[in-house]
Amino acid sequence: MTSEPSVAGAGSAPSGKPKKREHWASPLGAILAAAGSAIGLGNIWRFPYLAGENGGGAFVLIYLGLVFTIGLSVLVAELAIGRLAQANAVTAFHRLGKPRWAVIGWLGVASALIILSFYSIVAGWTVAYAGKMAAGAFTAEGTQAADVFNAFVAQPLTPLLFGAGFMTVTAVVIWRGVSRGIERLSLVLMPLLLLLLVALMVRALTLPGALDGVAFLFAPDFGAVDFDTINAALGQAFFSLSLGLGAMLTYGSYMNSAHNVGRSAGAIVALDTGIAISAGLVVLPAVFAFGLEPGAGPGLVFVTLPEIFAQMPLGQVFGTLFFVLLAFAALTSTVALMEPVCAFLIGARGMRRHTAAVLTGMVAFVLGIPSSWSLGMWSGVTLFDMTIFDIADYVTAKLMLPLGGLLIAVFTGWVLGGRIEASLAPQGGGGVLVAGWRLVVRFLAPVAIAWILVSGLLGG
Ligand code: PHE
């Protein structure tokens, strides 16, 4: 059986020897880079506040259900497509299917640019906050964390400067390349992140009253579940696993036949989910221990946590650690958002890597300016009650990523068929798992995502 179907121009020979295309230096590096893409603000900032807003346990349960069925399956599909095509997302769909399927790649490039635009702004906040924490900005008597936050994000320039700084660092990593830039960064930052998170978890869980937060996170109250809960959980699953925009596909394209796609996907999902739950176990126990509101929304981590750190023994140290952790997590994700765009510019447009990095960074930065200003002087500019920032988040997480995921599932299940399966189980093995995966990408994922997308649109 031809285990590695040769696609026109594929860069990887069966021996795994790359021609021109860059590849990961090691399987561990590949997994940590993909885990670094997945683990980010989505886990530590977005997941806890969504769980807090959506009633806790029930949201978490629905989220886990979606992650381990649809999420895992679409992740396997993206990695496998990338590895098979050995190309950026636009070229990959074009190469493996008919030219019109390249639209999935285009949709992905657009999603990546939009997410990068507002994500880098929030990433900039994390750096600013690490500095504020270290400087003891929240420990003074009578400091209102909400006022500090609102005043900070409303400024026209400072948040943009931090965002620009973050974008610059991201571009430098991309510039250095796949294994020397992205992989090395992930090999250093991911273990560090785990360590920091464990330290913070121990701190939060030993606060008096912390168990109420644990109960909130794990005891499901299905009375609180409505359609919005399901919609939010699906959007979070795609956002957190970096799915539906070709980011994982691009990382898959740097894998060769020596990498086991199924096993890597399992490890990535386990790490991403483990970190999200752990972040929940840092934030929510602390919130409950101090009698604060879990449903505070996007400000939960930037407003509620500083309040808590201010009152906690050694809060300044733990607070600084927390925001450093957040910045690290964000960096491996902004890198993963920039890379699919650059891979497209390099692979399909013949651009040099450093030109692509600088160009993508500049475009995404400019796109992010309205999002940042929508928290200050443009806060009155709204559509359906959403600010520009909210719209960018909504349109990507709740519409574009699920739509991309749906199309990827359909493409994998109905267009690629046997070719992709042969690449997943080269020896023809994998039986039950591959069969289950095929059922999900053919039926469950398209139907479930379409249902959630359509109901969401009809329900407003
Ligand atoms: N998964 C990242 C997070 O949870 C965000 C991201 C989305 C990164 C899409 C890359 C691609 O923060």
What's the CA gap between 144 and 78, in Å, rounded?
45
Q: What is the pLDDT of residues 241-251, one digit of tens each?
A: 999 999 999 99
Determine the topology of domain 28-401 in CATH.
Hydantoin permease (1.10.4160)
DSSP letters, 380-413, are T-EETTEEHHHHHHIIIIIIIHHHHHHHHHHIII
Q: How far is the CA of 312 from the centre of ligand 1 (A)?
A: 31
What are the Cα distances from residue 225, in Å, to 51, 137, 376, 388? 12, 38, 33, 27
Question: What local confidence, expressed as pLDDT, does residue 6 receive?
Answer: 38
Specify the residue with its C-alpha closest to ligand 1, atom 6. Answer: 242
**Is residue 43 in contact with ligand 1, taking CB distance under 6 Å?**
yes
Confidence (pTM):
0.93
Tens of pLDDT, residue by residue over 262-282, are 999 999 999 999 999 999 999
Which residues, 6 or more positions from 317, have their beta carbon under 8 angstroms from its beta carbon?
none
- Is the C-beta atom of 273 inside 6 A of ligand 1? no
- What does the pLDDT read at residue 250? 98
- Per-residue pLDDT at 20: 77
Binding site membership of 271 for ligand 1 (Cβ less than 6 Å): no
Residue among 60, 68, 35 nearest 440 (CA) = 68
Ligand 1 neighbourhood includes 239 CB (under 6 angstroms): yes
Query: Which pLDDT value is given to residue 457?
Result: 85
Nearest-atom number in ligand 1 for the CA of 243 is 9
d(CA 359, CA 79): 26
Which of 63-77, 132-146, 187-201, 406-420 has the highest mean predicted lDDT (pLDDT)?
63-77
Q: Hey, which of 78, 182, 239, 328 would you mutate to test ligand 1's pocket, going by the most ligand atoms within 8 Å of its Cβ? A: 239
Q: Give the integer Cα–Cα distance in Å for 341 and 266.
A: 25
Does the structure show a pLDDT above 80 at 15?
no
Please name the residues in contact with 424: beta carbons below 8 A apart, sequence gap of 6 or more: 76, 80, 261, 262, 430, 434, 437
Atom of ligand 1 nearest to the CA of 330: 12
The average pLDDT across 188-194 equals 93
The predicted pLDDT at position 184 comes to: 95
Taking 60 as the threshold, does the pLDDT of residue 2 lie above it? no
Residue 170 CB less than 6 A away from ligand 1: no
Distance CA 71, CA 76 (A): 9
335 CA distance to ligand 1 middle (Å): 10
DSSP string, 104-138: HHHHHHHHHHHHHHHHHHHHHHHHHHHHHHHTTTT
pLDDT digits (tens, 9 = 90+) for 19-43: 479 999 999 999 999 999 999 999 9
> Does pLDDT of 80 surpass 70?
yes
Say how far apart CA 290 and CA 305 lie, in whole Å. 10
Distance (Å, whole) CA 275 – CA 42: 10
Mutate to test the pocket of ligand 1, among 78, 107, 240 (most ligand atoms within 8 A of CB): 240
* Mean pLDDT of the region 122-131: 97
| Res. 85: pLDDT tops 90 | yes
Does the CB atom of residue 337 touch ligand 1 within 6 A?
yes
**Ligand 1: distance of its center to the CA of 239 in Å?**
5
Atom of ligand 1 nearest to the CA of 242: 9
The pLDDT value given to residue 428: 61
pLDDT of residue 426: 65
pLDDT for residue 397? 93
pLDDT tens figures, 165-180: 999 999 999 999 999 9
Q: What percent of the chain has pLDDT over 90?
A: 80
Mean pLDDT of 94-123: 97
pLDDT bucket at 4, cuts 50 / 70 / 90: very low
How far does residue 313's CA lie from ligand 1's centre (Å)?
A: 33
Average pLDDT over the chain reads 92
Does ligand 1 have an atom closer than 6 angstroms to the CB of 336? Answer: yes
The verdict on the CB of residue 37 being under 6 Å from ligand 1 is yes
Please write the tens of the pLDDT for every residue from 208-237: 999 999 999 999 988 878 898 999 999 999
Asked whether 333 lines ligand 1 (CB < 6 A), one says: yes
- CB of 40 closer than 6 A to ligand 1? yes
Q: For residues 139 and 409, which has the higher predicted lDDT (pLDDT)?
A: 409
Nearest atom (ligand 1) to Cα of 247: 11
Kindly tell me if the per-residue pLDDT of 88 is higher than 60. Answer: yes
Which percentage of the chain shows pLDDT scores above 70?
A: 94
